[in-house]
Structure 1
Amino acid sequence: MNRSNFQFFRTGACVALLAIVLMPVYLSATWSVIAVDARTGRVVVSSATCVPQSRLIGFPAEGLMDIQAIVVPGIGVAAAQAGVDRSRVNQRLIYAEMKNGTDPADILEMLSDDPDYQRRQFAIVDLQGRMVGFSGEGNSAASLSVQGRIPHEEIYFSIQGNILASNDVVYDAVRRFMSAEGTLTDRVMAAMEGADEAGGDVRCTCETDPVPAAPCHGRNAHVAYILAADSTDPEGDSFNNGDYAMYINVTDDNIESHENGNPVMTLRQRYEAWKAAGR
């Protein structure tokens, strides 16, 4: 792939996912897309992982979004993955500092005090167009992150992943994000599909348990979600539980028989249904 097609800002190495108190717990094969549109004020985060929903609940977490996404309506969005802090200290720090208007680069410097910093993967993008990404040296390949901007528009993004089939999982997602037409959420959904079609993690297949009772095509993850927040959306009492414009969550235990065992394909189906409903 010709990387010159992309407007790169930063790249890094990637990760393995979720720090559990003293023992690491890995969210293998996780990729995510975070993006903002400074013109509309919308922020979006989407992700998929090869970790089953039952294991995410055991972290404990309600799901992938619950422990990974940091959403600050009217300010920006972030993702904390790989050796994620199960205590949520890192996530709360990112949230608080984003609300304070702190530069993402400075937030990343604060996070570096974490003794497990080199097992983490972070990405932060705000509506001022400030972006940063980090993938620790302790993360497993293929792992990387890319930050960029759509030329001549006020759309900024970061795409990252860890334990991927290849670097092309992220590079293809970047290409799809930049070439897609439509809204910011349309671009993010296209990027998620680009990563999925590039292979995600080859260890997560249609035969990997748990297997949903639905047709399956090219599954590279067990769960996937997409979330969009507008600047006027009410916040909750945490870093990602507000009343947002859109949240669609697909897990291996909520895929229905008429959908697809590939959660990214089902995410697309549910996203199109959401749009058709005029929401």
Structure 2
Amino acid sequence: MTTKYYISLISLLFSTLYSTFSIVAVDVSTGEVGSAGGSCIANSIIISDIHPGVGAIHTQSYWLSANQSYASNLMDQGLSPSEIISLLEENDVQNNPGIRQYGVVSLSPGIDYGFLLEDECLEIDNAIWQGDPSIDGPAECLEPDTASSASYTGNNCIDWKGGINGISYSIQGNILLNEDVINQMESNFLNTNGTLDQKLMSALQGANIPGADTRCLDEGISTLSAFIRVAKPNDNSNNYFMDLNVSNVTPYYAQTGLWIDPIDTLQSLYDQWYDNNFNYEQGDVNQDNIIDILDLVQIVNFILGEFNSGLEFFLSDMNQDNNLNIQDIIIIINIILS
């Protein structure tokens, strides 16, 4: 083993109290909850705490199991992300919140007001009438699910440090090369049309920069470990819809003398997961296991403005250019005719 390998191991031992860039997010249309991140320590997945159908929490920077358990219990009690953050800051186990970093996101279920006439439903703030305006009579009146997020970065976390929040996501990092790391993660997340897992994987690729976690700059990689996890509403803690982890790329270096980026390795695992677990072919927009005129009509409707879920978009984007247009129509017509 080389001297550099031993130095890397020593660095790893002294850095186990820290963590680096991560994202927690939810999809209000599917109820999915997701968590992804990476760090120049082994097994960074330890920061991830997912509550299927509810939300997710990342406890990072001088990670403590007791603080994570406390945050998890607060989410189980139904507290909001901002309330969880406030209580974590007030009740740090070691009375030292300034060295911690947190990201929290949660789902809030909507309200079903039953079957109402359109005028009755529209009188309710935030409610959406599900009926056809051309047909008289009552229809279901719903207030949609909503999301909220909050984050916290202590003043004594190591630079660069900070976070970004959107309604359905929280991105945070410390010991980063610069602010561009989390800015690019956010840009990738927001500009990727698709499922929650696809948006999370794209966000991680935004941080695939040598030295994104500055402790890995000398090795020319972003981190030593990376993970992505997505839970559907009815998943349990032992069996998430997606749970992929690259725990440590140091052993590979020890064997080959080459550093590989864990985000690249995670991307390969992710692609393999789709090959082995995804149930539909590109073009099967309505997910009936047949590609036919019904799928073509659905793509046309999406192009004309009809709402589509992340999964429907992915199945409709035939050329995978992150846009729906005439090119996708031509491709699916050729498939149907063949």
The answer, yes or no, to whether TM exceeds 0.5 is yes
CA pair 197-42 structure 1, distance change in 2 beyond 3 A: same
Q: Does the CA-based 8 Å contact 2:52-2:231 persist in structure 1? A: yes
Corresponding position of 2:148: 130
Alpha-carbon distance, 1:198 to partner: 7.7
2:268 matches 1:269: yes
State which of 249, 252, 258 in structure 1 corresponds to 2:249: 252
Deviation string, structure 1 residues 102-135 (Cα, Å, up to 9, x no partner)? 1111111211221111100001000121211000
Corresponding position of 1:49: 39
Alpha-carbon distance, 1:253 to partner: 5.2
Deviation string, structure 1 residues 17-59 (Cα, Å, up to 9, x no partner)? xxxxxx995325x1001110011111111111011x3xxxxxx
2:71 and 2:215 mapped to 1: Cα distance? 31
State which of 15, 35, 51 in structure 2 corresponds to 1:72: 51
1:276 and 1:42 mapped to 2: Cα distance? 21
TM-score, normalising length: structure 1: 0.73
1:247 and 1:183 mapped to 2: Cα distance? 15
State which of 77, 83, 99 in structure 1 corresponds to 2:62: 83
CA pair 230-263 structure 1, distance change in 2 beyond 3 A: same
Corresponding position of 1:98: 75
CA pair 189-140 structure 1, distance change in 2 beyond 3 A: same
State which of 164, 171, 177 in structure 1 corresponds to 2:176: 164
- SS of equivalent to 1:127: strand
Corresponding position of 2:142: none
Deviation string, structure 1 residues 230-260 (Cα, Å, up to 9, x no partner)? 111123xxxxxx3211111112157598x97
- SS of equivalent to 2:185: helix
Q: Does the CA-based 8 Å contact 2:99-2:156 persist in structure 1? A: yes
2:16 and 2:215 mapped to 1: Cα distance? 17
2:23 matches 1:33: yes
2:232 matches 1:230: yes
Give the counterpart letter for 1:107 in structure 2.
I
Q: Does the CA-based 8 Å contact 1:260-1:266 persist in structure 2? A: no
Q: Where in structure 2 are the equivalents of 1:202-221 lying within 5 Å?
A: 202-205=214-217, 208=219, 218-221=220-223
- SS of equivalent to 2:157: coil
**Higher RCO (CA 8 Å, separation ≥ 6 residues):** 1
Corresponding position of 1:173: 185
1:64 and 1:168 mapped to 2: Cα distance? 21
Identity across the alignment (%): 29
1:120 and 1:269 mapped to 2: Cα distance? 32
2:37 and 2:50 mapped to 1: Cα distance? 14
2:222 and 2:70 mapped to 1: Cα distance? 31
Alpha-carbon distance, 1:184 to partner: 0.7
Q: Where in structure 2 are the equivalents of 1:179-218 lying within 5 Å?
A: 179-197=191-209, 199-205=211-217, 208=219, 218=220
- SS of equivalent to 1:123: strand
Q: Does the CA-based 8 Å contact 1:172-1:198 persist in structure 2? A: no
Q: Does the CA-based 8 Å contact 1:70-1:94 persist in structure 2? A: no
The structure in which a higher percent of residues are strand is 1
- SS of equivalent to 1:43: strand
Give the counterpart letter for 2:242 in structure 1.
M
Alpha-carbon distance, 1:197 to partner: 3.1
CA pair 254-270 structure 1, distance change in 2 beyond 3 A: farther
1:172 and 1:198 mapped to 2: Cα distance? 14
Larger radius of gyration: 2
Corresponding position of 2:327: none
Give the counterpart letter for 2:17 in structure 1.
Y
Q: Does the CA-based 8 Å contact 1:168-1:198 persist in structure 2? A: no
Give the counterpart letter for 2:66 in structure 1.
V
Alpha-carbon distance, 1:101 to partner: 1.0
The structure in which a higher percent of residues are helix is 2
